[in-house]
Structure 1
Amino acid sequence: MTWRKTGPVVAVILAVVAVVGWRWWHNHPPYGPETLAIKSSLTFVSHEEAQAALGENVPAPVSNGRDQLVLGQVSWQTPPKPLDGGYFAIFLIDKRTNRKAGSFSASSPRPDAISAGSAGVENKIPERYPWLKGAGDIKVGDTWWTHGSRLAVFDGDASPLTFVAPFRYLEGAQREAARGATAPVAISDLLLALVYMGSDGQVYWAQRLQG
């Protein structure tokens, strides 16, 4: 009689423990940022300097008038485990507006493993890391907008990574309608961060690199 009462209870407890254990395992990062010994830098450059840094196979962004070009360099040690469908997301954000850079030109030893854009799962990032609010979409009225892009790196061997982000100087309605961050900016206005995303959209960790 006692077994009939306690048996189902024990089964439920074991099921709950199993679910909790699976969630912990599923969201537990395979390694931390300290393992990668990440190094980074940000600086303003001219078009000629940008082209020299990117190399002859990657066209540097064109800049005119009061536009600004920001050169970023990020390097890391080879990860102890492959990314296996996950990726590193590199964000360059204007902290004043929480808008990402609008576009990137990038070069690395694995150019085929790099892309610029955004993904809906990255809206989870500011939920866990409020200082990375600009990594997600921004609500304007009743609508959510994706402001700018990030770089996604799908291979741990893509280091060192060099990128150039243009900040366009716009005025009036053009500035308000811009999807990405705009000029003028100072290096101190910029936040550079690397986020490790899992293959199922897990936010493993985020590391502030600059700003």
Structure 2
Amino acid sequence: MVAVILAIIVAMVGVEAWRWWHNHPPYGPEALAIQSSLRFVSYEEAQAALGENANAPLASGRDQLVLGRISWQAPPKALDGGYFAIFLIDKRTHHKPEVIAVPAPQEESVGLGSAGIESRIEERYPWLRGAGSLKVRDNEWRDNGNRLGVADEKASPLTFVALFPYLDKPHWEPTIATAPVAMSDLLLALVYMGPDGQVYWAQRLQG
């Protein structure tokens, strides 16, 4: 009986040790020395920042364009199936932009979209509400724009342009970030996601 109890204890300790190892980040954000900036730009400025082989989001009237730049030094280890998720969120609505453009050379390593697994992020980091889908009521979730997913740690420095469209008296509640927006409304964050959906860490960059 004692041997059985000891075996169970050893198994439980082994499971907990594996969970710790599996969810333990290979390194923290301080290893990357991350730098970032955000500013409003005109369409012409956005196009110049992205280069001639990329198309800046079309903007007119009261639409707004935000130019972001993020850089990090080479991490101690490769991403190996993990990725960096970059979030730009309107803190008032917890919505993200739908359209975000990057320079052509980085389109292969930087993707636009969302992932259901990213709803775990705000469970650990409540200040990042909106990183995943937004819960509007029991068993009902709503998509709320896109983020950038960086699969190649060598993609630094990264430039992007996000569109905040102005909707004139919409008949529905927008599910994406819209104009008018002030710089103080914006939250920029970088999250390190593991290959199995682990939320390794999140770093607030702006806002």
TM value normalised by structure 1: 0.94
Matched, 1:115 2:133: no
Match of 1:49 among 45, 51, 59: 45
Q: For residues 127-160 of structure 1, give each alpha carbon's deviation from its aligned partner in whole angstroms, at most 9, with x where no partner exists.
A: 0000001102112345211100000000100000
Q: For residues 91-127 of structure 1, give each alpha carbon's deviation from its aligned partner in whole angstroms, at most 9, with x where no partner exists.
A: 0000001111112001275431110000000000000
Q: Which residue of structure 1 aligns with residue 128 of structure 2?
A: 132
Q: Which moved more, 1:148-157 or 1:178-187?
A: 178-187
Q: Is the 8 A contact 1:86 1:154 kept in 2?
A: yes
Match of 1:9 among 5, 8, 12: 5
Offset at residue 18 of structure 1 (A): 0.3
Q: Is the 8 A contact 2:190 2:203 kept in 1?
A: yes
Q: Is the 8 A contact 1:192 1:210 kept in 2?
A: yes
TM value normalised by structure 2: 0.96
Query: Which amino acid in the other structure matches residue 59 of structure 1?
Result: N
2: distance between equivalents of 1:58 and 1:166? 15
* Greater share of helix: 1
1: distance between equivalents of 2:116 and 2:132? 8
Q: For residues 39-87 of structure 1, give each alpha carbon's deviation from its aligned partner in whole angstroms, at most 9, with x where no partner exists.
A: 0000000000000101111100110100000000000001111100000
Q: Which residue of structure 2 aligns with residue 99 of structure 1?
A: 95
Q: Which residue of structure 1 aligns with residue 151 of structure 2?
A: 154
Offset at residue 172 of structure 1 (A): 2.6
Larger radius of gyration: 1
Following superposition of structure 1 onto structure 2, how do residues 158-177 of structure 1 map, counting pairs within 5 Å?
158-174=155-171, 176=173
Q: Is the 8 A contact 2:90 2:177 kept in 1?
A: yes
1: distance between equivalents of 2:3 and 2:121? 41
SS at match of 1:99: coil
Query: Which amino acid in the other structure matches residue 46 of structure 2?
Result: A
SS at match of 1:131: helix
RMSD after superposition: 1.2
Give the share of equivalent positions with the same residue, in percent.
66
Q: Which residue of structure 2 aligns with residue 29 of structure 1?
A: 25
Q: Which residue of structure 2 aligns with residue 191 of structure 1?
A: 187
Q: Is the 8 A contact 2:54 2:104 kept in 1?
A: no
2: distance between equivalents of 1:108 and 1:89? 19
Query: Which amino acid in the other structure matches residue 196 of structure 1?
Result: Y
Structure 2 segments unaligned to the other structure (5+ residues): none
1: distance between equivalents of 2:135 and 2:200? 25
Matched, 1:67 2:60: no
Match of 1:206 among 176, 194, 202: 202
Q: Aligned residues, how many?
A: 206
Q: For residues 19-44 of structure 1, give each alpha carbon's deviation from its aligned partner in whole angstroms, at most 9, with x where no partner exists.
A: 00000000000000000000000000
